[in-house]
Amino acid sequence: MRVELLTAPGCPHASAVKQMVVDCVAELGVAARIIEKVGRYPSPTVLINGIDVMRPEAVAGIGDACRLDLPTLQRVRGALRAHRPDHTRRQETRP
């Protein structure tokens, strides 16, 4: 699983969101390294396997702006659970 934290330089929410992601990864026992990227991104953005946890239907944006839809604990947990290999297998075996 690929977990990414995209932030713009000086983002005031970056450290809190990073800690939340670290805590969620540990809580769920996900074997993933968190890849941090600082640049021109809507900040902060959490991507799980390239998918934005707050806007899964959208392509990751470009531009250094503060997000109004900050990543939430529930969305990060849900995305991590949905992308675990065991979750996919369970979905396929349901009648």
Structural domain includes residue 25: yes
Kindly state whether residue 8 falls inside one of the protein's structural domains: yes
Closest CA to 73 of 53, 50, 43: 53
> Does residue 91 form part of some domain?
no
In a domain, 89, yes or no: no
Q: Is residue 56 part of a domain?
A: yes
Residue 20: give the domain boundaries: 2-83
Residue 12 has a pLDDT of 93
Mean pLDDT of 77-82: 94
Residue 94 domain flag: no
In a domain, 93, yes or no: no
pTM (2 d.p.): 0.82
Residue 36: in which H helix or E strand, if any?
Answer: strand 34-38
Domains identified in the chain, total number: 1
Q: Decide if pLDDT at 90 tops 70.
A: no
- Range with the poorest average pLDDT among 4-8, 55-59, 73-77: 55-59
